Amino acid sequence: MEDFSECAVGWHAPKKQTPGNVKRSGMVGDKQQTMEAIIILCDVLVRQTISPIEPQPGETYIQAVMGEAKHQIETHLRGDSGTVLPACSLMANAASSGDSLCTIAPDHEPCLPDGTSSCVKCRKQRRRMAYDCNLMGIVGEAQ
């Protein structure tokens, strides 16, 4: 993933591994930032497939996609990313305001911070619903 983000987007994780971890993991940059970058790149590519990004004059389509992905990655990392999805993510729910209510627990209580199996299932369900909704919104705009 690290090599691909460098080749495809020309992006390197700003946070570096500790020297001992570099040898063990085979990565120079932070694993979490690298995974987030790949997810953002995938989001940009899905959006590009559905509703192409118009390149600037003198720019190719791949340069437009690379530029958009890099911009979204850098914007996300400047914020308080943690475990929060990037605002540009197709899985992000724009209507959500912080604590997500559980779709599995009785009375839709907030999911537990310990990430029990029901909370993982709930997270996946919420992200699937947001993804489907956001994807349909893009498809509708493109038509």
Give the model's confidence band at 38: pLDDT under 50 very low, under 70 low, under 90 confident, else very high: very high
- Of all residues in the chain, what percent carry a pLDDT higher than 70? 76
Per-residue pLDDT at 35 exceeds 80 = yes
Arithmetic mean of pLDDT over the chain: 79
Rounded to 5 degrees, φ, ψ at 29 are -90, 170
DSSP annotation string for 57-98: TT--HHHHHHHHHHHHHHHHHHS--TTPPPTT-TT--TT--S
Whole-number Å distance between alpha carbons of 100 and 94: 12
Say how far residue 124 (Cα) sits from the centre of its chain: 14
Structure tokens at 138: 């893009």
Residue-wise pLDDT for 45-95, tens only, equals 888 888 788 889 999 988 988 888 888 888 888 876 555 677 778 888 755
Give the model's confidence band at 97: pLDDT under 50 very low, under 70 low, under 90 confident, else very high: very low
Taking the domains of the chain in order of start, what are their residue ranges? 1-87, 90-143
